[in-house]
């Protein structure tokens, strides 16, 4: 993306995290490090998505694009 649009990707990532996403003021930040992410489920190609299931709860889902089924 940086090459295509002439944008510093690292700077864009920091600006999104620190300013646009409101991550630093997230009410669940204190326990976010306790969430589970298994190394065996991570591959070279992953997709991230957000799903709202009920009552305004928002879940972030990481999908390994190298798996099937």
Q: How far apart are CA 65 and CA 46, in angstroms?
A: 5
Q: Cα 39–41–44 angle (5° rounding)?
A: 90
For the chain, what is the mean pLDDT? 79
Predicted confidence at residue 10, as pLDDT, reads 84
Q: Let me know: does 51 contact 63? Beta carbons within 8 Å.
A: no
Look up the pTM and report it: 0.39
Question: 51 pairs with which residues across the strands?
Answer: 59
Query: Which secondary structure element, helix H or strand E, spans residue 48, and what is its range?
Result: strand 46-52
Q: Let me know: does 26 contact 32? Beta carbons within 8 Å.
A: yes
């Amino acid at each position: 993306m940086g090459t295509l649009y002439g944008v510093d990707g690292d700077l864009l990532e920091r600006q999104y995290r620190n300013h646009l996403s409101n991550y630093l003021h997230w009410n669940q930040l204190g326990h976010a490090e306790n969430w589970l992410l298994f190394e065996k489920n991570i591959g070279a190609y992953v997709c991230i998505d957000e799903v709202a299931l009920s009552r305004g709860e928002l879940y972030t889902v990481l999908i390994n694009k190298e798996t099937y089924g």
